[in-house]
C-alpha cells in the first residue's frame, strides 16, 4: 500500500441508493471502487438502500466517497448524516448540495449574482389550470423545456413544441417532483465544464462539447448510447473556452461548492451567449461520464482522479480537510 492510500484509512464508497438514478450510481460506484482498490486503498462498497448509514460508524469507516446521484445522494441529506457521524466525505457540503439539487434555487442564486441562466417559470404542486399552462409558452416562447425541479440525469424532461404538449409534459415532470420547472429553450451548442477543488484554489477542467443525436441528450444518450459525440478539446475558440471556464467557476463558487462539480451550459447559436443550466455536485463516474473525460484531457487519469477526490474529503466544520 502506498503512503497516500494508507493515509486515507478505511473508506466506504457509497453507491446505489434509492433515487431514480440508482442504476447509474451503481455503475459510478463500481468504477470508483475498482480504481481505489487498484491503488491500495482499503475501500468497500456501501449501499444505503440496503444498510443503514449508522453502520458506517459501527464498522469503523473513516472516509466516504459519495458515488450516489439524485435524491438522498447529492441533495444534502446523506451529507448531513455524514456530518452527524463525523465521517469526512467527497464533494460539496450540506447547503451547496441541497441548493444545487434544486434547479429553481440554483437559478435564484445565480440570478442574484448576475450569472446568466435561461428564463423560467415555476409551476406549484397540484393541478395547474389549463389557462395557466397555456400562459407559460406565451411567456417563455416555443419550444420550451419542462422538467422536475429536483431530479437529475435528464429524467422527466420534455422539450415542448406546442401548447397541446404542455399538460403531458407537466404530468411527466410531476411524477418525479411536485415542483415543475418550465425553462426557456436555448438553441445552440450544449457544453459541460468540470471543476476540481474549493474556493480560490478551484480549477476548471477543459470544456466538453456534447453532440447528441437530434440534440436529444436524454438519459439513454447520457449513459447507454454510443451515438452521442463528445468533443474534448471542445473546438471552441480559445476566448470562448476561457469564458465557459470563468463562468463555471463563478457559478461553482456562488453555490459554495467544494471538492468537485460539473456545470451544464448552452452556447446560443444566434449570438454565442452562454447560459448556465445546472450544477452537478456528484457527477457520474461511469465509462460514459464527462468529468473523467475532462480530467484525462488535463493529464489526470481515472485512478488518480478518484484518489485526489478522496483526499479532499471533508466535513463542513473543516475537520478531515
Q: Are 70 and 17 in contact (CB under 8 A)?
A: yes
3-state secondary structure string, 154-198? CCCCEEECCHHHHHHHHHHHHCCCCCEEEEECCCEEEEEEEEECC
* DSSP summary character for residue 48: T
Total Cβ atoms within 10 A of residue 317? 11
**Phi then psi for 174, rounded to 5 degrees?**
-70, -15
* DSSP summary character for residue 277: E
Q: What is the three-class DSSP state of 56?
A: helix
Q: What are the catalytic residues?
A: 21, 153, 223, 262, 264, 278, 280, 284
Q: What is the three-class DSSP state of 4?
A: helix
Question: What's the CA gap between 171 and 210, in Å, rounded?
Answer: 28
Amino acid at each position: 500500500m502506498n503512503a497516500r492510500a494508507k493515509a486515507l484509512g478505511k473508506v466506504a464508497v457509497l453507491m446505489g441508493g434509492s433515487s431514480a438514478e440508482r442504476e447509474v450510481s451503481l455503475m459510478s460506484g463500481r468504477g470508483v471502487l475498482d480504481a481505489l482498490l487498484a491503488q491500495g486503498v482499503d475501500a468497500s462498497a456501501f449501499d444505503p438502500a440496503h444498510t443503514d448509514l449508522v453502520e458506517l460508524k459501527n464498522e469503523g469507516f473513516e472516509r466516504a466517497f459519495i458515488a450516489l446521484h439524485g435524491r438522498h445522494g447529492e441533495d444534502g441529506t446523506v451529507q448531513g448524516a455524514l456530518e452527524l457521524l463525523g465521517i469526512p466525505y467527497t464533494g460539496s457540503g450540506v447547503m451547496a448540495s441541497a441548493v444545487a439539487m434544486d434547479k429553481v434555487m440554483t437559478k435564484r442564486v445565480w440570478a442574484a449574482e448576475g450569472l446568466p441562466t435561461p428564463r423560467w417559470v415555476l409551476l406549484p404542486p397540484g393541478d395547474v389550470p389549463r389557462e395557466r399552462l397555456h400562459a407559460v409558452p406565451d411567456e417563455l416562447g416555443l419550444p420550451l423545456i419542462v422538467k422536475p425541479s429536483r431530479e437529475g440525469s435528464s429524467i422527466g424532461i420534455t422539450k415542448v413544441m406546442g401548447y397541446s404538449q404542455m399538460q403531458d409534459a407537466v404530468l411527466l415532470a410531476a411524477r418525479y417532483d411536485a415542483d415543475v420547472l418550465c425553462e426557456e429553450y436555448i438553441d445552440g451548442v450544449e457544453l459541460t465544464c468540470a471543476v476540481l477543488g474549493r474556493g480560490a484554489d478551484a480549477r476548471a477542467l477543459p470544456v466538453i462539447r456534447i453532440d447528441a443525436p437530434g440534440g436529444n441528450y436524454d438519459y439513454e444518450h447520457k449513459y447507454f448510447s454510443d451515438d452521442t459525440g463528445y468533443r474534448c478539446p471542445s473546438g471552441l475558440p480559445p476566448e470562448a473556452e476561457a469564458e465557459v471556464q470563468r463562468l463555471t467557476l463563478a457559478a461553482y463558487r456562488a453555490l459554495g461548492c467544494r471538492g468537485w462539480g460539473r456545470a451544464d451550459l448552452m452556447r446560443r447559436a444566434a449570438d454565442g451567449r452562454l447560459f448556465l443550466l445546472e450544477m452537478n455536485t456528484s457527477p457520474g463516474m461511469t465509462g460514459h461520464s464527462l468529468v473523467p473525460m475532462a480530467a484525462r484531457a488535463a493529464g489526470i487519469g481515472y485512478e488518480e482522479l478518484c484518489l485526489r477526490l478522496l483526499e479532499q474529503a471533508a466535513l463542513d466544520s473543516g475537520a478531515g480537510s
